[in-house]
Amino acid sequence: MSIKVVTTSPFSDQKPGTSGLRKKVTVFQTPNYLENFVQSIFDSLEGFAGQTLVVGGDGRYYNRHAIQTILKMAAANGFGKILVGRGGILSTPAASCVIRKYNAFGGIILSASHNPAGKDGDFGIKYNTGNGGPAPEKITDAIYEITKSISEYKILEAGDLDLDRLGATKLGDTVVEVIDSVADYAELMSSLFDFDRIKLLLASPDFRLCFDGMHAVTGPYAQEILVNRLGAPTSALQNCVPLEDFGDGHPDPNLVYAHDLVEVLYGENAPDFGAASDGDGDRNMILGKKFFVTPSDSLAILAANAHHVPAYKGGLAGIARSMPTSQAPDRVAARLGIECYETPTGWKFFGNLLDAGKATLCGEESFGTGSNHVREKDGLWAVLFWLNVLAARQQSVEAIVKEHWQLYGRNFYSRHDYEGVDSDRANTLVDNLRKKGVDLAGQKFGNYQVDFCDDFSYTDPVDGSVSSKQGLRIGFTDGSRIVFRLSGTGTQGATLRLYVESYEPNIAKHNLDTQEALKELIEIADQIAQIKVLTGRAEPTVIT
The pTM score is 0.94
Q: Active-site residue numbers?
A: 113
Give residue-wise pLDDT tens across range 65-84: 999 999 999 999 999 999 99
Give residue-wise pLDDT tens across range 181-231: 999 999 999 999 999 999 999 999 999 999 999 999 999 999 999 999 999
Of 337, 56, 374, nearest to 189 (Cα)?
374
Of 366, 409, 411, nearest to 518 (Cα)?
411
Q: What's the mean pLDDT in 315-335?
A: 97
Cα-Cα end-to-end distance for the chain: 53
% of the chain surpassing 90 pLDDT:
91
Give yes or no for a contact between 426 and 494, defined as CB atoms under 8 angstroms apart.
yes
Give residue-wise pLDDT tens across range 382-406: 999 999 999 999 999 999 999 999 9
Alpha carbons 459 and 352: distance in angstroms, whole number: 12
CA distances to 82, 277, 282, 290, 506 from 274, in Å: 37, 11, 16, 10, 29
Mean predicted lDDT score pLDDT of the chain: 95
pLDDT reported for residue 507: 95
List domains and CATH numbers for the chain: 2-181 (3.40.120.10), 185-408 (3.40.120.10), 410-543 (3.30.310.50)
User: Which is more confidently placed, 137 or 407?
Assistant: 407
Look at strands 81-89 and 52-57 and give their pairing: parallel
pLDDT reported for residue 348: 83
pLDDT reported for residue 137: 86
Q: What's the mean pLDDT in 329-342?
A: 98
pLDDT reported for residue 493: 77
pLDDT reported for residue 492: 65
pLDDT category, 346, cuts 50, 70, 90?
Answer: confident
% of the chain surpassing 70 pLDDT:
99
